[in-house]
Chains A and B, each alone.
Chain A
Amino acid sequence: MNEIFTESVYFGFFLSLFAYYIGVVINKKFKSPIFNPLLISAILIIAFLAIANIDYETYNAGGQYLTYFLTPCTVCYAIPLHQEMQKIKENKLAIAVGVVTGAVTSMLCVLAVALIFELTHEQYVTLLPKSITSAFGYGISEELSGISSITVPVIILTGVVGNVFGQSICRITGIRNRIAVGLAFGSSSHALGTVKALEIGELEGAMSSISVAISGIFTVLVASFFAGLY
Chain B
Amino acid sequence: MKYLNQIAIIFGVSFAGEIVYRFLGLPIPASIYGLIIMMILLETKIIKFEQIKDVGSFMLNIMIVTFVPSTVGVMTAVEELKTFLIPILIVLFLVTVIVMVVTGRVSQFVIERRCSKDE
The chain A residues found within 8 Å of chain B, CB to CB, are 12, 16-17, 19-20, 37-39, 41-42, 45-46, 49-50, 56, 59-60, 63-64, 66-67, 69-83, 85, 93-94, 97-98, 101-102, 105-106, 109-110, 113-114, 116-117, 119, 123, 127, 130-131, 134-136, 138-140, 142-144, 147-150, 152-154, 156-158, 161-162, 165-166, 169-170, 173-177, 179-181, 183-185, 187-189, 191, 217, 220-221, 223-224, 227
Contacts and interface: CB of A to CB of B under 8 A. Distances in A.
A183 B103 contact: yes
A221 B28 contact: yes
Interface residues of B, number: 73
B64 interface: yes
Contacts of A109: 91, 94-95, 98-99
B97 to A, nearest CB: 6
A60 to B, nearest CB: 6
B104 A170 contact: yes
A217 B13 CA distance: 17
A59 B102 CA distance: 42
Contacts of B96: 131, 158, 161-162, 188-189
Given A56-B75, A147-B77, A152-B71, A17 B65 contact: yes
A223 B35 CA distance: 17
Contact of B65 (A66, A93, A97, A181): A66
7 contacts: A16-B68, A49-B72, A69-B66, A71-B31, A79-B49, A188-B103, A220-B32
B14 A117 contact: no
A134 B73 CA distance: 14
A81 B10 contact: no
Interface in B95-119: 95-108, 110-112, 114
Contacts of B103: 98, 101-102, 105, 180, 183-184, 187-188
Contacts of A188: 96-97, 99-100, 103
B65 to A, nearest CB: 5
B21 to A, nearest CB: 10
A56 B76 contact: yes
B31 A74 contact: yes
B98 A97 contact: no
A71 B17 contact: yes
Given A77-B35, A119-B87, A220-B32, A56 B73 contact: yes
